Amino acid sequence: MTLDDIFALVRQLSVLDQVKLIERIAPEIERALQNPQTLPRKSLWGICVDLGDAPSDTDITEARNEAWANFPRDAM
């Protein structure tokens, strides 16, 4: 049953019964809002595990040296 189904059923009630429904459900909503149950957060450790091994310091240094080898170039 969806929310729309329930809302359609509530509309079929008399106004007095709708008020009674609100009076019955309001305390439950208040309790739920006062004691929110938070879901445990997923740890970020290992978030990139599917990417494989990280590049070594040597690999990073070599890539950096290659990228900056021709800097600065003569513009003319």
Least confident of 35-39, 52-56, 59-63: 35-39
Q: Which of 10, 8, 9, 6 is nearest to 19 (CA)?
A: 10
Kindly report, residue by residue over 3-46, the tens digit of the pLDDT: 999 999 999 999 999 999 999 999 999 998 888 777 788 788 88
pTM of the model: 0.45
Q: Which of 51, 52, 68 is nearest to 60 (CA)?
A: 68
